[in-house]
Protein backbone atom coordinates (compact mmCIF):
# COMPACT_ATOMS: atom_id res chain seq x y z
CA UNK A 1 0.00 0.00 0.00
CA UNK A 2 2.81 2.41 0.86
CA UNK A 3 4.46 1.72 -2.50
CA UNK A 4 1.22 2.44 -4.35
CA UNK A 5 0.94 5.78 -2.56
CA UNK A 6 4.55 6.62 -3.35
CA UNK A 7 4.10 5.72 -7.03
CA UNK A 8 0.92 7.82 -7.21
CA UNK A 9 2.67 10.77 -5.53
CA UNK A 10 5.59 10.56 -7.97
CA UNK A 11 3.23 10.35 -10.94
CA UNK A 12 1.39 13.48 -9.84
CA UNK A 13 4.70 15.23 -9.13
CA UNK A 14 6.13 14.35 -12.57
CA UNK A 15 2.90 15.38 -14.28
CA UNK A 16 3.17 18.88 -12.82
CA UNK A 17 6.93 19.41 -12.92
CA UNK A 18 7.98 17.92 -16.24
CA UNK A 19 6.90 19.04 -19.67
CA UNK A 20 7.69 15.61 -21.09
CA UNK A 21 8.14 12.13 -19.66
CA UNK A 22 9.35 9.11 -21.60
CA UNK A 23 9.00 5.42 -20.88
CA UNK A 24 10.02 2.23 -22.65
CA UNK A 25 8.28 -1.11 -22.92
CA UNK A 26 9.30 -4.33 -24.60
CA UNK A 27 7.23 -6.95 -26.38
CA UNK A 28 9.47 -9.88 -25.47
CA UNK A 29 8.69 -12.83 -27.75
CA UNK A 30 9.95 -16.38 -27.26
CA UNK A 31 10.72 -18.89 -30.02
CA UNK A 32 7.02 -19.93 -30.21
CA UNK A 33 5.87 -16.27 -30.43
CA UNK A 34 4.49 -16.21 -26.90
CA UNK A 35 4.74 -12.79 -25.25
CA UNK A 36 6.18 -12.06 -21.81
CA UNK A 37 3.85 -10.05 -19.56
CA UNK A 38 4.27 -8.83 -16.01
CA UNK A 39 1.81 -8.17 -13.22
CA UNK A 40 2.82 -5.14 -11.15
CA UNK A 41 2.30 -4.62 -7.45
CA UNK A 42 1.11 -1.04 -7.98
CA UNK A 43 -1.38 -1.37 -10.86
CA UNK A 44 -3.91 -3.91 -12.02
CA UNK A 45 -3.60 -6.22 -14.97
CA UNK A 46 -0.85 -7.65 -17.12
CA UNK A 47 1.51 -5.38 -19.04
CA UNK A 48 4.69 -5.44 -21.08
CA UNK A 49 7.85 -5.07 -18.98
CA UNK A 50 9.42 -1.63 -18.99
CA UNK A 51 9.73 1.64 -17.15
CA UNK A 52 10.98 5.20 -17.27
CA UNK A 53 13.93 6.57 -19.18
CA UNK A 54 16.38 8.14 -16.76
CA UNK A 55 18.36 11.33 -17.35
CA UNK A 56 21.39 10.60 -19.51
CA UNK A 57 19.99 7.29 -20.78
CA UNK A 58 19.03 6.41 -24.33
CA UNK A 59 15.73 4.60 -24.86
CA UNK A 60 17.64 1.43 -25.75
CA UNK A 61 19.76 1.67 -22.60
CA UNK A 62 16.60 2.20 -20.54
CA UNK A 63 14.92 -0.83 -22.14
CA UNK A 64 17.99 -2.98 -21.45
CA UNK A 65 18.10 -1.83 -17.82
CA UNK A 66 14.37 -2.28 -17.22
CA UNK A 67 14.26 -5.75 -18.79
CA UNK A 68 17.21 -6.89 -16.69
CA UNK A 69 15.81 -5.43 -13.46
CA UNK A 70 12.21 -6.55 -13.91
CA UNK A 71 12.43 -9.92 -15.65
CA UNK A 72 16.12 -10.90 -15.86
CA UNK A 73 16.21 -10.51 -19.65
CA UNK A 74 19.48 -9.61 -21.39
CA UNK A 75 19.29 -8.36 -24.98
CA UNK A 76 21.39 -10.44 -27.40
CA UNK A 77 20.94 -8.01 -30.30
CA UNK A 78 19.29 -4.62 -30.80
CA UNK A 79 15.51 -4.62 -30.37
CA UNK A 80 13.18 -3.38 -33.11
CA UNK A 81 11.50 -0.04 -32.46
CA UNK A 82 7.78 -0.54 -33.09
CA UNK A 83 6.71 3.03 -32.39
CA UNK A 84 6.46 5.95 -30.01
CA UNK A 85 3.04 6.41 -28.49
CA UNK A 86 1.38 9.36 -26.75
CA UNK A 87 0.20 8.28 -23.30
CA UNK A 88 -1.71 11.46 -22.54
CA UNK A 89 -4.65 9.69 -20.89
CA UNK A 90 -2.36 8.96 -17.96
CA UNK A 91 -0.09 12.02 -18.01
CA UNK A 92 0.01 15.12 -20.23
CA UNK A 93 3.33 14.99 -22.09
CA UNK A 94 3.98 11.28 -21.47
CA UNK A 95 5.25 9.05 -24.28
CA UNK A 96 6.12 5.36 -24.52
CA UNK A 97 8.73 3.93 -26.88
CA UNK A 98 7.72 0.35 -27.69
CA UNK A 99 10.20 -2.26 -28.89
CA UNK A 100 9.90 -5.84 -30.16
CA UNK A 101 12.49 -8.04 -28.44
CA UNK A 102 13.11 -11.29 -30.28
CA UNK A 103 16.78 -12.04 -29.55
CA UNK A 104 17.39 -12.36 -25.83
CA UNK A 105 18.41 -14.65 -23.00
CA UNK A 106 17.11 -14.91 -19.47
CA UNK A 107 20.00 -15.59 -17.14
CA UNK A 108 17.83 -15.47 -14.04
CA UNK A 109 14.20 -15.07 -13.08
CA UNK A 110 13.98 -12.40 -10.40
CA UNK A 111 11.86 -13.42 -7.40
CA UNK A 112 8.48 -11.72 -7.01
CA UNK A 113 8.78 -8.24 -5.54
CA UNK A 114 6.63 -5.25 -4.62
CA UNK A 115 7.17 -3.92 -8.16
CA UNK A 116 6.81 -7.13 -10.21
CA UNK A 117 4.53 -9.68 -8.58
CA UNK A 118 4.60 -12.18 -11.44
CA UNK A 119 5.94 -12.74 -14.94
CA UNK A 120 4.68 -15.25 -17.46
CA UNK A 121 4.64 -16.02 -21.17
CA UNK A 122 1.27 -16.08 -22.93
CA UNK A 123 0.14 -16.97 -26.40
CA UNK A 124 -1.22 -13.79 -28.03
CA UNK A 125 -4.52 -15.61 -28.63
CA UNK A 126 -4.76 -16.71 -24.98
CA UNK A 127 -3.98 -13.58 -22.97
CA UNK A 128 -5.16 -13.34 -19.37
CA UNK A 129 -8.57 -11.71 -18.94
CA UNK A 130 -7.05 -8.76 -17.13
CA UNK A 131 -4.36 -8.01 -19.73
CA UNK A 132 -4.40 -4.24 -20.18
CA UNK A 133 -6.26 -2.74 -23.12
CA UNK A 134 -3.01 -1.17 -24.37
CA UNK A 135 -1.27 -4.56 -24.24
CA UNK A 136 -4.04 -6.16 -26.27
CA UNK A 137 -4.07 -3.27 -28.76
CA UNK A 138 -0.29 -3.28 -29.32
CA UNK A 139 -0.27 -7.04 -29.95
CA UNK A 140 -3.14 -6.70 -32.42
CA UNK A 141 -1.24 -3.91 -34.18
CA UNK A 142 1.90 -6.04 -34.32
CA UNK A 143 -0.13 -8.90 -35.81
CA UNK A 144 -1.62 -6.51 -38.38
CA UNK A 145 -5.22 -7.18 -37.34
CA UNK A 146 -5.97 -3.56 -36.37
CA UNK A 147 -4.61 -0.27 -37.75
CA UNK A 148 -1.67 1.33 -35.95
CA UNK A 149 -2.46 4.15 -33.54
CA UNK A 150 -0.17 6.80 -32.13
CA UNK A 151 -2.09 6.80 -28.83
CA UNK A 152 -1.26 4.31 -26.10
Mind listing the pLDDT tens digit for each residue in 29-51?
999 999 999 999 999 999 999 99
Is the pLDDT at 10 greater than 80, yes or no? no
pLDDT of res. 15: 62
Distance of CA 117 to the CA centre of its chain: 14
d(CA 70, CA 111): 9
pLDDT of res. 14: 64
Q: Phi and psi dihedrals of 29, rounded to 5?
A: -110, 135
Average pLDDT over residues 9-32: 84
Residue 89: which residues within 8 A CB-CB, separation 6 or more? Answer: 151, 152
pLDDT of res. 18: 62
pLDDT of res. 7: 76
d(CA 80, CA 102): 8
Q: Name the average pLDDT for the chain.
A: 93
Closest CA relative to residue 84, chosen from 118, 50, 124, 41: 50
Looking at per-residue pLDDT, the higher value among 13 and 63 belongs to 63
Is the pLDDT at 74 greater than 80, yes or no? yes
119: left (phi over 0), alpha (psi -120 to 50) or beta: beta
Total Cβ atoms within 10 A of residue 108: 10
Is the pLDDT at 90 greater than 80, yes or no? no
Specify the fold of 2-143. Answer: Nucleoside Triphosphate Pyrophosphohydrolase (3.90.79)
Average pLDDT over residues 100-125: 96
d(CA 123, CA 24): 22
Going from N- to C-terminal start, the domains of the chain cover 2-143
Amino acid sequence: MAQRLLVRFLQVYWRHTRALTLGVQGIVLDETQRVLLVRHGYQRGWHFPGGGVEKGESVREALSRELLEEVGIVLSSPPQLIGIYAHFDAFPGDHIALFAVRDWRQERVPPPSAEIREQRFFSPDALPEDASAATRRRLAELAGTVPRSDRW
